Structure 1
Amino acid sequence: MNPTPDLRLDPESCYRAVKSRDRRFDGVFYTAVRTTGIYCRPSCPARTPALHNITFHPSAASAQAAGYRACKRCLPDATPGSPDWDVAATAAGRAMRLIADGVVDREGVEGLADRVGYTSRHLGRILTAELGAGPLALARARRAQTARVLIETSDLTYADIAFAAGFSSVRQFNDTIREVYDSSPTDLRGRRGGRPATGVVTMRLAVRTPYSGRALLDFLALRAVPGVEAAGEGWYARTLVLPRGTGTVRLEVPDELESNRTAFVTATFALEDLRDTSAATERVRRLLDADCDPVAVADAFAGDPVIGPLVREWPGLRVPGHVDGHEIAVRAVLGQQVSVAGARTTAERLVAEHGRPLARPVDGLTHLFPDAATLAGLDPEDLPMPRARGRALIELCAALADGTIALDRGPDRDDVRRALLAIPGIGPWTADYVALRALGHPDVFLPTDVGIRNALRSLGRDPVEAVGLAEGWRPWRSYAQMYLWQTHNPKEH
């Protein structure tokens, strides 16, 4: 049984998941118990209530709006998000990504609606129908979750936590924590006490298992741009450009997590402005592909003669996302018709010449990637690439800088692809690579990619068959792409 929107709303199917304590459904729906007044994740180890005492909710905000408090035993909000947000990419799913990024806290409901392309009233109706709560309630639930994680895992003062989580006042923070968790911030923290904020926050980010951390690190390390990114055994670090300031993050990623449970990646953030905590966390979760349901992906490929054996060899392979859509779009253009090493070298030159230096370099991180406005103002003749590609890069950056093209997962993916293809010099490979890495599209395939063609040959298949083969891999072609890259040469695709 795969977690889908229909199953979330079907009591019998949801109850079967609860009885089996299936962790795949954690974050997909929530179980509220009338007799206790609390809501839980499906895998809560407590005794399973009778079906007539349970209601099911598609979001934590929906359960909270119905008057339920979070279970102190299973911590239902400490789960990966629903994979449906990226699979279907409906308006509700796209809005949820932006809410998690803190858009409602920064720009209000109107700003959220503008990004998704609806009126605020219509977007409210969509979210209430699909997720059981409006944008304000969903944003409040996200703030409460961020605050709880910071209370339990950091030494920040409560005032700093309140503003880092997006609350407008300490009083609002205290009231929300008491209402959602039936505990005070002091109760949640226990006896550890707090120290003044240093701007450094360490958090555990939930991911579904199996999770092939080593493969993800290898992918990122191979493409790491010196100054902006760094990697070593079991870790990856990079600089961050965030809504209110800059920062860095260092990720400690387990090698392989194979059991059917929720596991965690440790992220240490150093932020100029703690109010960027939610945005930084969400963007790193995208990088990790943390909300993927690897069991559903594996089930879809179980009988496939090409991808099936690869899934069994490398369980839990992820599609690496990115923390900055503008950056990955620029790097996709740099990677046109050149090797990974060549693209990385060109990016390194751009960073050295046009990137903004960090005030406090750390772990080999010295610069921010050049912003789109800066690159848009350059002369194509001065760029270290063929003239036609330079012109495409400048036009792309101009469209990113003025908002003509948005890569924040708010707009419809097909609209973004059409806008990218309208730029001379940007073809399907580039547009689809951007969709794969920046937009979190789970169903993208690059049949003309050299690595894919070589991988198919190594598996005894004719690359001419690529498009036809990929039709049988829907709706997970992006994952098939990763498995083929991994097969051909894990460190050179």
Structure 2
Amino acid sequence: MSAPSSTLPDHHACEQARLSRDARFDGLFFTAVTSTRIYCRPVCPAPSPKAANVRYYANAAAAEADGFRPCLRCRPELAPGHPAWHPGEHVVARALKLIDGGALAEGSLEGLAGRVGVGARQLRRLFVEHLGAPPLRVHTTRRLLFAKQLLTETALPVTEVALASGFGSLRRFNAAFTQANRIAPRELRRRPHAGQDGDALVLRLGYRPPYDFDGVLDFLRSRALPGIEQVDANAYTRVFGPAEAPGWLRLSAWPDGEHALKLELHGPQSAQLLPLVTRLRRMFDLDAEPRAIAATLGAGGVLAPLLRKRPGLRLPSGWDGFEIAVRAVLGQQVSVAAARTLASRTVQRFGTPLATPVLPGLERLFPTPAQLADADLSQIGVVRARAQTIRGIAQALLDGRADFRPEQPLEEFVERWTALHGIGEWTAHYMAMRALGHPDAFPAADLILRRAATGGTGELSTRTLTKMAQAWRPWRAYAVIHLWRSTADRAEAAKADDTQPDHAAKRGKRR
């Protein structure tokens, strides 16, 4: 797939967004001011600088590469990620996914380049051409901005902040942070910060509006696994490992209508912090750009009224690839409720009990591939064919025949997974959608989807729906979520109608 022609909005759009502080453009570009050598988010509340002193950059790494430092007022570390590369399978897009996953924290530039099939020199050239900064600069900026957030919002010791942001040496962290921010970490720590909420470490996870958090919670609530996660009307709560020293988290809306979610972390190890935040940003689809999605899906046809009704609907993915794969197989040709029942039994029978439950109702971890590779699932009601498929998935993950690497193209992912016994196109695309958060995954054979695409008046064939969905690329997974949601909305409306008093009949009786 070709690279985006530009990752920066045109100059006029940037000017308008900057002057109006339009939150829809937050993270899509940064404003650098030559007179102060500071770069800001377009929503910065500071007085607008003179246009002659403004430069625009598509990302923070490019601004820092040109010698600008992040604003202490609008805090660029809180901006959502840039989505331009999210739907693509270009070399840069795939490499960015790996960097987000910590590839350069654990490996070399040569290793990163090898994973996306190019040489290190070519990868560097492509990054500079398309992003304005080389891979190592992108990686370092990401770590330093996360460190800045931890220093500003938490009471973590500076040594723990250095470790959490991927620096093995406090000396190297201090030097890198001071060079990028023109202020030492301990000096920044002396400024007021949000602190902690009881024993919780609290962080903001920003997004671009509109964002339908209630819609995401509704989707996850119907699939929540007792013992592992809880979803109420206001928040998502989950336990995470290791079993010997577990932690738990709660994600809710940030108070006062700020465009952010509130993450409360209890008991995480410092090295877990950045991977946890990265995982949650993917799971709750916090880096999407609703304008770009709506421009494609809302152009006309069955999706247009759905986009108008729920413009902020997002693509909820899952916590773990193996967990989603098991649940996808359990959900083959059964209802969401039936699949959830079987998944809950799997957790209770084969999941790892925590040494100490973190909260009432949160006392287990989902079973690992090793735990299910030879498990007898018939004892919990799983039919033989699906039990065999689940054991096959577990074994394929253990021996490397299949995986959830974020950089693999959609077609490659589907091809590898459908080579396994019991995995068809529907299951593979569902896994890509929910395990990878792939925006173009499309389980076209889904019966509910084929009915919803007619507006509830009939049923399309898989071939017809696949052809129709070509116009929705590269956002077909968002079309799936909107169509599934429209089915639920119609069911809720019908149920409400059934429970309403028959006013006409009553009026007739009175007459």
Answer whether TM exceeds 0.5 for this pair: yes
Q: Matches of 1:109 and 1:323 in 2, distance apart?
A: 28
Q: Which runs of 5+ in 2 are unaligned?
A: 493-511
Shift of 1:205: 0.3
Amino acid at match of 1:277: L
Shift of 1:175: 2.4
Matched, 1:347 2:346: no
Shift of 1:51: 5.4
For residue 273 of structure 1, the aligned residue among 269, 284, 294 is 269
For residue 447 of structure 1, the aligned residue among 444, 447, 451 is 444
Q: Matches of 1:197 and 1:172 in 2, distance apart?
A: 30
Matched, 1:264 2:260: yes
After superposing the two structures, state which structure 1 stretch, 60-69 or 174-183, moved more.
174-183
Q: What is residue 295 of structure 1 aligned with on the other side? A: 291
Q: What is residue 250 of structure 2 aligned with on the other side? A: 250
Q: Tell whether the 8 Å contact from 2:38 to 2:71 is kept in structure 1 after alignment.
A: yes
What SS class does the counterpart of residue 283 from structure 1 fall into? helix
Q: Tell whether the 8 Å contact from 2:154 to 2:196 is kept in structure 1 after alignment.
A: no
For residue 363 of structure 2, the aligned residue among 362, 366, 372 is 366
1:76/1:197 CA distance change after superposition, 3 Å:
closer
1:129/1:7 CA distance change after superposition, 3 Å:
closer
What SS class does the counterpart of residue 261 from structure 2 fall into? strand
Q: Tell whether the 8 Å contact from 2:154 to 2:195 is kept in structure 1 after alignment.
A: no
Shift of 1:61: 1.6
Shift of 1:64: 1.3
Q: What is residue 220 of structure 1 aligned with on the other side? A: 220
1:451/1:228 CA distance change after superposition, 3 Å:
same
After superposing the two structures, state which structure 1 stretch, 131-140 or 336-345, moved more.
131-140
Q: Tell whether the 8 Å contact from 1:210 to 1:294 is kept in structure 2 after alignment.
A: yes
Q: What is residue 98 of structure 1 aligned with on the other side? A: 98
Q: Matches of 1:315 and 1:10 in 2, distance apart?
A: 24
Q: Matches of 1:412 and 1:471 in 2, distance apart?
A: 17
Q: Tell me the TM-score normalized by structure 2.
A: 0.86
1:341/1:351 CA distance change after superposition, 3 Å:
same
Q: Tell me the TM-score normalized by structure 1.
A: 0.89
Please give the residue correspondences for 1:70-469 in structure 2 after superposition, counting only pairs within 5 Å. 70-190=70-190, 200-240=200-240, 247-253=247-253, 263-363=259-359, 364-378=361-375, 384-456=381-453, 459-464=456-461, 465-469=464-468
User: Percent of counterpart pairs with the same letter?
Assistant: 39
Amino acid at match of 1:296: A
Q: Matches of 1:123 and 1:170 in 2, distance apart?
A: 29
What SS class does the counterpart of residue 104 from structure 1 fall into? helix
Q: Matches of 2:338 and 2:105 in 1, distance apart?
A: 40
1:210/1:67 CA distance change after superposition, 3 Å:
same
After superposing the two structures, state which structure 1 stretch, 356-365 or 42-51, moved more.
42-51
- Choose 1 or 2 for highest CA Rg: 2
Q: Matches of 2:197 and 2:209 in 1, distance apart?
A: 33
1:50-77 alpha-carbon deviations (Å, 9 max, x no partner) = 5554443332122212211112232223
Q: Tell whether the 8 Å contact from 1:219 to 1:491 is kept in structure 2 after alignment.
A: no
Shift of 1:426: 0.5
After superposing the two structures, state which structure 1 stretch, 221-230 or 59-68, moved more.
59-68
Q: Matches of 1:480 and 1:255 in 2, distance apart?
A: 30
Q: Tell whether the 8 Å contact from 1:58 to 1:130 is kept in structure 2 after alignment.
A: no
Alpha-carbon RMSD: 3.1
Q: Matches of 2:7 and 2:273 in 1, distance apart?
A: 33
Q: Matches of 1:241 and 1:96 in 2, distance apart?
A: 26
Q: What is residue 487 of structure 2 aligned with on the other side? A: 488
1:210-268 alpha-carbon deviations (Å, 9 max, x no partner) = 111111001101001111111112011123358x98643211136997xxxx7110111
Q: Matches of 1:253 and 1:197 in 2, distance apart?
A: 15
Q: Tell whether the 8 Å contact from 2:26 to 2:208 is kept in structure 1 after alignment.
A: no
Q: Tell whether the 8 Å contact from 1:199 to 1:272 is kept in structure 2 after alignment.
A: no
Q: Matches of 1:119 and 1:453 in 2, distance apart?
A: 43
